[in-house]
């Protein structure tokens, strides 16, 4: 992402972050600069920093629902969480959900971007229609799909019965076998436009001359795609998949409102499980321990994310 | 691409931009533009494979091309049918909605579901309109405050060289890593301490941090791409730093500002988990939670639920579609390129 641009830029000036004797003096000299970022940082510290610290702290306590007395249990909550058989079932579901949704949404979204980038009549309208699911709220999407795939009155089940394709109503959300593929499908419906819009933006930056040159040299469509488009979009692809992955790992509303984790925990994810432990069973301590585990996984993802975003730390700087 | 080239050249009779790019391209362009027949074979022999393939492509669709159209058709079907079913159901009566086999187009369309929801004299309508007002207020406040906070911050991250700048920038971006549900408990306790529970400000404050990382990232990309010389010129002409920012940088980065504003608004409009946890009294609920409440109370009224979902989706869909070109532009200019 940063590579193509960095090549034409002059050599970056020395970084300000390098430790040197006058660090304090430099902070004082730039005091006014901090005023610009202060409001943003204040909000972030309040709404992010505090909860992180608090969650970690809470995870070492037993928090009985009915009393305010917290009991120190050390790593008790962690061993309990990681030791339960349920945890590993939930982990499997979460893995299935996250990887499945991300991969499918990415492939479909990329395909959509490539097709929609072609010149054709009505392209604007097609593009607009494909973007709609992205902005529909998760709550509305959950109910629309529940109704659409309703086993008794839904359009899919009813129509297939009518045509004689199936003999019994199509049970999807209440079937242990089909519930995960179904919720993943709904999630992909909601997410592929995000991939499409990101890659569409990326495709606009592929230089025309490069494409034309490849074509003149006799490269076929597949070769042009694989050797010109993909390498050029590497940065965007990386960021998009990472963002999707994290969003899916965090995704709560869709599954919670469509299945509530059921039937029999067949679609229970980490995040819905944490919600249930905290707000149904009111075991905050255990939920916090669970959160910390999840948080550590995300943080390692975050490391790659930041690396990808900054293109290996090559942020350009212009003195004011 | 091939169509592009030939039509462009045909219209202008040999575009200089094309000629300047590439010798071979220019030759092809000249060949196509020349009306006389004899020059054609000569050129074709020189750049044979590409030209021939190009000519073939224009007459006959390639397998990849056909595959693309089929894919697009399936995708459109997949996207549209659930939404169409939502609209179709919302125009049916409760009895018609459970007719078997299902009717794609309502036999006796009725707008009673919509009038019920939008009528302030009925209980459902009064509730629904109040949820909508709450959502409008929360989303608007989030958007405006988000811009007030994000614009100066991203400008500083782009332009100033203060110690710890990069570290601070990354720490803002790491926000995207944090699972929202994980923060529910501590944030709830925090909001209770700030006596903000059951107030819209708890939501506004929380939503602010959702949008900030993306806003700051996008806007910083924009500011990075605006030459600092423009500002310097304005400063030399006597503008203050603020004037230089307000008169030069702001207009140039307006696509980024519009894009981040839409994003913040949509996030605020659609958010469910925090709204459900922080808001307890019914009169303060926002639309997503209101929709869920509607579902639990009138479980079998699918047409009503679909009508409510439709009304709820219209504002953000219209807003997004109207301004989506800024979104793509902002991603292209600000994020993807930089």
How far does the CA of residue B181 sit from the closest CA of chain A (Å)? 7
Are B165 and A17 a contacting pair at CB < 8 A?
yes
Interface of B with A in 63-102 (CB under 8 A): 64, 68-69, 71-72, 75-76, 78-83, 85-86, 89, 97-98, 100-102
CA distance B5 to B25: 9
- How much is the ipTM here? 0.81
How far does the CA of residue B317 sit from the closest CA of chain A (Å)? 6
Q: Inform me whether the C-beta atom of residue B51 falls under 8 Å from chain A C-beta atoms.
A: no
How high is the mean pLDDT of chain B?
A: 78
Are B72 and A126 a contacting pair at CB < 8 A?
yes
pLDDT at B113 over 50: yes
Q: Inform me whether the C-beta atom of residue A318 falls under 8 Å from chain B C-beta atoms.
A: yes
In tens, the pLDDT along B114-134 reads: 988 888 888 888 999 999 999
Contacts of A118 in chain B (CB under 8 A): 68
In tens, the pLDDT along A236-258 reads: 888 888 888 888 988 899 999 99
pLDDT at B10 (0 to 100):
35
Q: Which tokens sit at B292?
A: 């869920």
pLDDT at B208 (0 to 100):
87
CA distance B73 to B79: 10
Give the best-scoring range by mean pLDDT among A22-26, A177-181, B56-60. Answer: A177-181
pLDDT at B2 (0 to 100):
38
What topology does CATH give the domain B114-336? Answer: MetI-like fold (1.10.3720)
**Mean pLDDT score, B300-312:** 91
Enter the DSSP assignment of A206.
S
List helix spans (H) across B162-301: 165-173, 184-193, 200-225, 228-236, 241-244, 250-252, 254-270, 273-278, 287-297
pLDDT at B27 over 60: no
Give the best-scoring range by mean pLDDT among A315-319, B39-43, B74-78, B254-258. Answer: B74-78
Residue B19: which pLDDT band, with cuts at 50, 70 and 90?
Answer: very low
pLDDT at A5 (0 to 100):
41
- Give CATH 1.10.3720.10 domain extents, chain B: 114-336
pLDDT at A1 (0 to 100):
39
Domain with residues A85-309, CATH architecture: Orthogonal Bundle (1.10)
Better-scored residue on pLDDT, B246 or A306:
B246
**Mean pLDDT score, B17-35:** 41
pLDDT at B137 over 90: yes
User: Degrees (nearest 5) of the Cα angle B324, B325, B326?
Assistant: 90
pLDDT at B25 (0 to 100):
45
Of all residues in chain B, what percent carry a pLDDT higher than 90? 25
Give the best-scoring range by mean pLDDT among A280-289, B170-179, B203-212, B271-280. Answer: B271-280
Long-range contact list for B113-118, CB < 8 A, 24+ apart? Answer: B113/B303, B113/B304, B113/B306, B113/B307, B114/B90, B114/B307, B114/B311, B116/B304, B116/B307, B117/B304, B117/B307, B117/B308, B117/B311, B118/B311
pLDDT at A18 (0 to 100):
53
Residue A192: which pLDDT band, with cuts at 50, 70 and 90?
Answer: very high
Residue B90: which pLDDT band, with cuts at 50, 70 and 90?
Answer: very high
**Mean pLDDT score, B244-253:** 85
pLDDT at A108 (0 to 100):
96
**Mean pLDDT score, A107-127:** 90
Domain boundaries, chain A: 85-309
Residue A94: which pLDDT band, with cuts at 50, 70 and 90?
Answer: very high
Out of A6-10, A94-98, A213-217, B102-106, which region has the weakest mean confidence (pLDDT)?
A6-10
Residue B46: which pLDDT band, with cuts at 50, 70 and 90?
Answer: very low
How high is the mean pLDDT of chain A?
A: 82
Interface of A with B in 203-242 (CB under 8 A): 204-205, 208-209, 211-213, 215-218, 221-222, 235-236
- Ordered DSSP codes for B175-205: GGGS-TGGGHHHHHHHHHHTT-TTSHHHHHH
Contacts of B177 in chain A (CB under 8 A): 246, 298-299, 301-302, 305
CA distance B18 to B10: 12
Question: Among A139, A172, A281, which would you mutate to test the B interface (most chain B Cβ atoms within 10 Å of its Cβ)?
Answer: A139
pLDDT at B51 over 60: no
Identify the sign of the CA torsion B138, B139, B144, B145.
positive
CA distance B271 to A252: 11
Residue A215: which pLDDT band, with cuts at 50, 70 and 90?
Answer: confident
Q: Inform me whether the C-beta atom of residue A309 falls under 8 Å from chain B C-beta atoms.
A: yes
pLDDT at B80 (0 to 100):
95
CB nearest B205 (choices: A23, A47, A318): A47
Q: Inform me whether the C-beta atom of residue B3 falls under 8 Å from chain A C-beta atoms.
A: yes
Contacts of A46 in chain B (CB under 8 A): 190, 205
pLDDT at A319 (0 to 100):
38
pLDDT at A20 (0 to 100):
55
pLDDT at B234 (0 to 100):
87
Q: Which tokens sit at A213?
A: 């040159």
Contacts of A128 in chain B (CB under 8 A): 321, 324
Asked if B273 and A137 count as a contact pair (C-beta separation under 8 A), the reply is: no
């Amino acid at each position: 992402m940063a590579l193509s641009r960095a090549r034409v830029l002059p050599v970056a000036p020395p970084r300000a972050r390098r430790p040197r004797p006058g660090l304090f003096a430099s902070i004082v000299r730039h005091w006014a600069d901090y005023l610009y970022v202060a409001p943003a940082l204040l909000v972030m510290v309040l709404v992010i920093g505090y909860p992180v610290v608090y969650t970690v702290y809470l995870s070492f306590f037993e928090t009985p629902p009915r009393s305010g007395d917290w009991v120190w249990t050390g790593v008790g909550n962690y061993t309990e969480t990681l030791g339960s058989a349920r945890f590993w079932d939930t982990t499997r579901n979460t893995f299935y959900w996250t990887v499945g949704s991300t991969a499918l949404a990415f492939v479909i979204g990329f395909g959509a971007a490539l097709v929609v980038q072609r010149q054709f009549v009505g392209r604007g309208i097609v593009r607009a229609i494909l973007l709609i699911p992205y902005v529909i709220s998760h709550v509305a999407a959950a109910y629309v799909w529940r109704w659409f795939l309703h086993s008794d009155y839904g359009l899919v089940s009813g129509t297939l019965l009518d045509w004689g394709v199936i003999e019994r109503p199509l049970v999807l959300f209440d079937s242990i076998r089909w519930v995960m593929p179904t919720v993943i499908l709904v999630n992909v419906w909601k997410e592929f436009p995000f991939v499409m819009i990101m890659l569409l933006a990326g495709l606009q930056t592929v230089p025309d001359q490069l494409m034309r040159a490849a074509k003149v040299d006799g490269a076929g469509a597949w070769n042009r795609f694989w050797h010109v488009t993909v390498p050029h979009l590497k940065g965007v692809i990386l960021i998009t998949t990472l963002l999707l992955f994290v969003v899916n790992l965090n995704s709560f509303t869709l599954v919670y409102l469509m299945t509530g984790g059921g039937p029999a925990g067949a679609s229970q994810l980490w995040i819905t499980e944490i919600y249930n432990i905290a707000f149904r069973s009111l075991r905050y301590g255990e939920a916090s321990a669970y959160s910390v585990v999840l948080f550590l996984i995300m943080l390692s993802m975050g490391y790659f994310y930041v690396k990808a975003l900054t293109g290996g730390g090559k942020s350009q700087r212009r003195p004011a | 691409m091939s169509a592009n080239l030939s039509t462009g050249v045909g219209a202008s009779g040999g575009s200089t931009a094309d000629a300047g790019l590439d010798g071979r391209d220019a030759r092809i362009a000249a060949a196509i533009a020349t009306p006389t027949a004899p020059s054609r074979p000569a050129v074709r022999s020189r750049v044979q494979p590409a030209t021939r393939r190009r000519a073939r492509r224009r007459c006959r669709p390639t397998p990849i091309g056909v595959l693309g159209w089929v894919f697009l058709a399936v995708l459109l079907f997949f996207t549209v049918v659930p939404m169409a079913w939502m609209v179709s159901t919302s125009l049916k009566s409760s009895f018609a909605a459970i007719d078997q086999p299902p009717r794609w187009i309502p036999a006796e369309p009725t707008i009673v579901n919509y009038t019920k929801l939008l009528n302030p004299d009925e209980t459902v309508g009064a509730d629904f309109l109040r949820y909508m007002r709450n959502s409008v207020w929360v989303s608007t406040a989030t958007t405006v405050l988000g811009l007030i906070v994000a614009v100066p911050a991203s400008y500083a991250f782009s332009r100033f060289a203060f110690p710890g700048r990069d570290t601070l920038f990354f720490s803002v971006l790491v926000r995207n890593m944090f699972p929202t549900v994980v923060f529910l408990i501590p944030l709830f306790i925090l909001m209770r301490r700030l006596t903000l529970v059951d107030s819209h400000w708890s939501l506004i404050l929380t939503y602010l941090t959702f949008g900030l990382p993306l806003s700051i990232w996008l806007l910083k990309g924009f500011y990075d791409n605006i030459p600092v010389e423009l500002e310097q010129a304005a400063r030399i002409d006597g503008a203050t730093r603020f004037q230089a920012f307000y008169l030069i940088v702001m207009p140039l980065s307006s696509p980024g500002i519009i894009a981040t504003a839409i994003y913040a608004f949509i996030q605020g409009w659609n958010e469910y988990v925090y709204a459900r946890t922080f808001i307890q009294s019914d009169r303060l609920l926002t639309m997503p939670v209101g929709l869920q409440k509607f579902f639990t109370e009138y479980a079998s009224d699918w047409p009503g639920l679909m009508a409510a979902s439709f009304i709820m989706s219209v504002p953000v869909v219209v807003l997004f579609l109207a301004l989506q070109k800024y979104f793509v532009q902002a991603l292209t200019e600000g994020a993807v390129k930089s």
